[in-house]
Amino acid sequence: MDRTVNHDAAPITLDRLRKVYPDQTVAVDELTLDIAAGEVCVLIGPSGCGKSTVLRMVNRLIEPTAGRVLLGGEDVTTVDPVRLRRTIGYVIQNVGLFPHQTVRTNVGTVPRLLGWDRSRIAKRSDELLEQVGLDPSRFGRRYPHELSGGQRQRVGVARALAADPLVLLMDEPFSAVDPIVRGRLQEEFLRLRSTVRKTTIVVTHDLQEAIRLGDRIAVLSDHAHLEQYATPAELLAAPANEFVERFIGDDRGIMRLSVTPVPRTGLRPLSSVDGMPSVPVTATLREALAEMLATGHEQVVVRDGDTALGALTAEDVRAALAEAKPAD
């Protein structure tokens, strides 16, 4: 029976997922993972551990040997694979834009396959180009070779979102650009996901990127064996085992600063804020410490809008970091 999935927000369940190739190579060995609707899950692990294979089994570019992929509670193997892929946005490292089509036409690829009318496709394409920071009046008629690598990657994200997919799969999406552009694309992704809450699986080899983008991180070892599945803060504060600890490396204390928010309570009283640097209450401990180092002050004011909540010192940063560590 020809069916397709139809949910507004689709959780993903990988149930004892397994992939064995004809030469008996085991790529994925019974991976079980639950990803909540609207959550960004990052798969990370050593090269060749099966991360991309897992991703491709979700949209059936690779068929599982055993186990199930449930999208919104429905087994994807019961869905026509072509229709399934039209409900899943897919962003890859080298983008894969059609070179002889304009940017606007590239973005409208899936809506066109779904039979949308021209005016609706044009409106959606321009809307998404604006969302990813590309002015459609400037970029809509250009061709991929007329864009920078970062701009092409943005078009790839817009194309993946064009038909309002249930989920978004991203395989090393920002690794083909230089570090500065990569940082900007990550910022754009974070801005975009604040308004477009898609269930997303991101594959990356970059721990910093995983910590920055992920709601939860799945650390995989050989054959996609799940070593730990946790929030960035939990992962950095309490690695589950020696493998995870080695994989994270010696910088995890510093990285924890970037995922630990400044405290809202227990701040030092203020006699005056004149000339003192400040950070918003949404800042991380890393941002607070960076502001102190950049300005040469021993403390910063924590603000909630125009209201000064109190002061935070370097010693307070150390104490807040210790307090944020999960109990054993």
For 184-213, the pLDDT digits (tens) are 888 888 888 877 788 999 999 889 899 989
Average the pLDDT over 211-219 and give the result: 94
Which residue from 205, 207, 210 is spatially nearest to 189, judged by alpha carbons? 210
Q: How confident is the model at residue 264 (pLDDT cuts 50, 70, 90)?
A: confident
Backbone φ, ψ for residue 149 (5° rounding): -60, -40
Residues 200 and 219: beta-carbon distance below 8 Å: no
- Cβ-based burial of 47 (10 A; exposed 0-12, middle 13-18, buried ≥19): exposed
Mean pLDDT value across the chain: 87
Q: In this predicted structure, what is the pLDDT of residue 229?
A: 97
Q: What percent of the chain has pLDDT over 70?
A: 95
Reference 9, options 199, 189, 193; nearest CA is: 199
The closest of 287, 284, 301, 228 to 45, measured between CA atoms, is 228
Q: pTM score, two decimals?
A: 0.83
Higher per-residue confidence, 93 vs 155: 155
Taking the CA of residue 209 as centre, how many other CA atoms within 13 Å lie in the half-sphere pointing to its CB?
24
pLDDT of residue 113: 85
pLDDT interval class at 8 (50, 70, 90): low
Give the DSSP H/E element, type plus range, for residue 5. none
Q: Is the pLDDT of residue 3 over 70?
A: no
Query: Which residue ranges form the domains of the chain, and what is each CATH number?
Result: 12-252 (3.40.50.300), 260-323 (3.10.580.10)
Mean per-residue pLDDT, 3-23? 78
Tokens found for residue 134: 């590309």
Neighbours of 94 (CB within 10 A): 13
The closest of 49, 6, 9, 10 to 27, measured between CA atoms, is 49
Q: Which amino acid is at 111?
A: P
Top pLDDT among 190 and 241 is at 241
Dihedral sign, CA of 39, 40, 45, 50? Answer: positive
CA distances in angstroms from 238 to 228, 288, 300, 326, listed in the order given: 10, 23, 28, 7
Expressed in angstroms, the distance from the first to the final Cα of the chain is 50
Considering the chain, what percentage of its residues have pLDDT values greater than 90?
A: 45
What's the confidence (pLDDT) of residue 325?
61
Structure tokens at 21: 């190739």
pLDDT band at 326 (very low <50, low <70, confident <90, very high): low
Q: CB–CB of 6/75 below 8 Å?
A: no
Q: How confident is the model at residue 13 (pLDDT cuts 50, 70, 90)?
A: very high
CB 261 within 8 A of CB 282: yes
Q: 57: which DSSP letter?
A: H
pLDDT digits (tens, 9 = 90+) for 268-281: 888 777 888 899 98
Average pLDDT (52-75) is 93
pLDDT given at position 4 = 41
